[in-house]
Amino acid sequence: MSRHETVTQEPAKVTSIPDPPEGPHPEQRLRRHRLSLYLVIGVLVVAVLGPPAVFIGSAALHVREEHAKDRPFDSAVWKASLEAWKADFEKNGQVPPIGADPIRRHMVDDLLKRHPLVGMSRADVESLLGIPPRPGYFEEYDLVYWLGMEVLGLDYQWLVIRFGADGRVTEARVLND
């Protein structure tokens, strides 16, 4: 090689690294989509089932609290409560009375357990429970006693009693209106 000779070198071949595929690897994309889907489903489940779960839980606690107020049947207390209802009914015509104490609702279960009313005479029932006013509800029954709001506070509860031709109770049960 002489001094004046030009040396041409071929450029070195550079092996290029292939460009990565656009975006993350397909498995990573699938994983991200699944996580997003699970997140959306989780949010929807909480949004849809959360409020009913809270309502049901609070209703269950309320029912438990109300049943804790249940008390033994006491004829004198029942009749005193009935007299207060009758006085309010005659004065205001409210059925049920505004702000009335639902003490009879707290005693009715024990009443029906300890005093099976079916078969009792009308005189015996009236002696035990008193004589209620005719509230205009459940006209097909002979005696109708307002008990109070049901446990969840949606309807009123009533003890209804029907007498047969012989003057004895043929049916006694608690109804909601």
Same domain, yes or no: 80 and 135: yes
Same domain, yes or no: 45 and 101: no
Residue 72 three-state SS: coil
Contact 128, 115 (CB under 8 A): yes
- Beta bridge pairs of residue 161: 143, 172
What's residue 57's pLDDT?
47
Tokens of 6: 């030009």
Largest CA distance in the chain: 144
What's residue 64's pLDDT?
42
The whole domain housing 157 covers 75-176
Q: Which residue has the higher pLDDT, 24 or 53?
A: 24
Distance between CA atoms of residues 176 and 154, nearest Å? 9
Distance between CA atoms of residues 138 and 129, nearest Å? 18
Q: Which residue has the higher pLDDT, 32 or 76?
A: 76
What's residue 125's pLDDT?
97
Amino acid at 49: L
Number of domains observed in the structure of the chain: 2
Tokens of 101: 């104490």
pTM of this structure: 0.59
Statement: residue 122 has pLDDT above 60: yes
Across 1-27, average pLDDT = 62
Same domain, yes or no: 38 and 83: no
pLDDT tens digits, 58-87: 444 434 444 445 889 999 999 988 887 777
